[in-house]
Amino acid sequence: MSISKREFLKISGLAAGIAGLSAAGLTACSRSPESDDGDGGGTGLESITGDVQPISVDERLSRIAKAQMLMVDAGIDAIVLEPGSAMLYFSGVSWRRSERLTAVIIPRRGEIAVVTPYFEEPSVRESMTFGDDIRTWHEHENPFELVAGVLKDRGLKQGVIGLEDTVRYFVVKGIKKSVRRFATTSALPVTLGCRMYKSESEIALMKKASEVTLTAFRHVYSRLEVGMTPADVNAMMLAAQTALGGNTVWNMALFGEASAYPHGTSEPQEIKEGQIVLMDCGCTVEGYRSDISRTFVFGRPTKRQSEVWQTVRKGQQIAFETATLGTPAGAVDDAVRAYYESLGYGPGYQTPGLSHRTGHGIGMDGHESVNFVHGETTPLMSGMCFSNEPGIYIYGEFGVRLEDCLYMTLRGPAWFTVPPDSLDDPIGRMA
């Protein structure tokens, strides 16, 4: 009698149950708090992130210096950043958005400044690793006058202020009202000009985040059982990634027909024999993200399931091999679609076929510019990072998505995680 790899794993004892997990409140997607309570969540796993090196103060200062050079080139006199990944990237300040303004101002010349409510200053300072110009305001005061004061103290009486696309309207309105002699423009030529190209230290953190997620996949894969719901699987993946040292963990599990819809469905699902299980999961390590998708078959795959899976795997490889230095990013998407269309899928984004872009930029945000999408002309350059996920979706049947991220080197593309080669061993490995 022959047994599947899954059956062998269970027989060998790798499928020990996860104790003490509750699926209450979880659906097809789940997200985590920032960290676990230190006991591994009952998984038996231990953190693998103890040796990571956070981004240094020197690197953040070099980012600001590069941003200031780009500001001169773009004719921008200062940029104003709200809490989020850009603020963290440049300043190291980790904060949250609210109705009260906290902002980092980076002038074209000179040191950065922080504007924040008076009662938030001690908390904001906790994440500051450099700089001492922090200006506070009380509830009855106008914080945008402090922004104007920073600009004046940097010798800026008029000019252009750069704002990212995510800056909220009340911030834009407040700046325009209080800093009347300044025009506003997009800061993306500056922020993307820095963030799009990852350093070695950033790549290292993304590799560690990927290792957390891939290790968790292997842990959870061998523990799947008939009757489990997406909430059950997400709970296991959440516990595993958290125990391994991942923060801001997120997971999505789709079974059977639900896998044909890239972001799922609210219809009830549970694992059945011979069914597709599609999982899309990730975490952060020191603010840098992983994003990995795997598609399994619970039990023995059908010929059709295997053929579609292998087609997607080849699509991934075509994308990887097309992603050479200097190639327009859109050409990667075009190459995959040309292959799929040769097999009768599509055309274009039509289903059965690839209904979304082939990949997206990734770094501190799960989705960053530039994308592997038709029409994108930005040339690929060293330091760029992308997901590679050319799924095939067959409405009413199932979908297959394999997603591994890559980064561009001076020699061409390199994997963060190496995709699996077959459904017999569908996890893959670290590069």
Average pLDDT, whole number, for the chain? 92
Q: What is the pLDDT of residues 130-179, one digit of tens each?
A: 999 999 999 999 999 999 999 999 999 999 999 998 999 999 999 999 99
What is the average pLDDT across 333-352? 98
What is the average pLDDT across 55-67? 98
Residue 43 banded pLDDT, cuts 50, 70, 90: confident
Residues 182 and 205 in one domain: no
- The angle formed by the CA atoms of residues 116, 117 and 122, to the nearest 5 degrees, is 80
Evaluate whether residue 63 is within a structural domain.
Answer: yes
The DSSP secondary-structure symbol of 36 reads -
Residues 410 and 317 in one domain: yes
Q: Is residue 17 scored above 50 in pLDDT?
A: no
d(CA 40, CA 159): 53
Consecutive H or E run containing 330: helix 329-342
Evaluate whether residue 140 is within a structural domain.
Answer: yes
Evaluate whether residue 49 is within a structural domain.
Answer: no
Residues 241 and 179 in one domain: no
Residues 166 and 229 in one domain: no
Evaluate whether residue 292 is within a structural domain.
Answer: yes
Residue 1 is predicted with a pLDDT of: 34
Residues 91 and 128 in one domain: yes
Question: The tokens of 217 are what?
Answer: 């996949």
Residues 15 and 92 in one domain: no
Query: Could you say which of 160, 195, 230 is where a domain stops?
Result: 195
Q: List phi, psi (to 5°) of 265.
A: -150, 160
- Between the alpha carbon of residue 242 and those of residues 51, 137, 195, 210, 283, the distances in Å are 16, 37, 26, 13, 8
How many separate domains does the chain show?
Answer: 2
Residue 294 banded pLDDT, cuts 50, 70, 90: very high
Residue 266 banded pLDDT, cuts 50, 70, 90: confident
Residue 29 is predicted with a pLDDT of: 64
Residues 114 and 223 in one domain: no
Residues 67 and 167 in one domain: yes
Start-to-end C-alpha separation, the chain: 35
Residues 234 and 151 in one domain: no
Q: Tell me which residue of 281, 212, 217 sits closest to 51, measured CA to CA.
A: 212
Residues 392 and 406 in one domain: yes
Residues 203 and 317 in one domain: yes
What is the average pLDDT across 358-370? 97
Question: In this structure, what CATH number is given to the domain that contains residue 126?
Answer: 3.40.350.10
Provide the domain limits for residue 66: 57-195
Query: Could you say which of 164, 195, 226 is where a domain stops?
Result: 195
Residue 396 is predicted with a pLDDT of: 95
Q: Is residue 114 scored above 80 in pLDDT?
A: yes
Q: Is residue 45 scored above 50 in pLDDT?
A: yes
Q: Is residue 417 scored above 80 in pLDDT?
A: yes
Question: The tokens of 94 are what?
Answer: 């980790």
Evaluate whether residue 227 is within a structural domain.
Answer: yes
What's the number of CA atoms in the CB half-sphere (13 Å) around residue 273? 3
Query: Could you say which of 168, 195, 222 is where a domain stops?
Result: 195
Residue 10 is predicted with a pLDDT of: 40
Question: What percentage of the chain exceeds 70 in pLDDT?
Answer: 90
Residues 254 and 388 in one domain: yes
d(CA 369, CA 167): 17
**Dihedral (C-alpha) 326, 332, 338, 339: value to the nearest 10 degrees?**
110
Residue 42 banded pLDDT, cuts 50, 70, 90: confident
- Give residue 341's Cα distance to chain centre: 29
Question: In this structure, what CATH number is given to the domain that contains residue 284?
Answer: 3.90.230.10
Residue 111 is predicted with a pLDDT of: 96
Residue at 406: amino acid letter = L
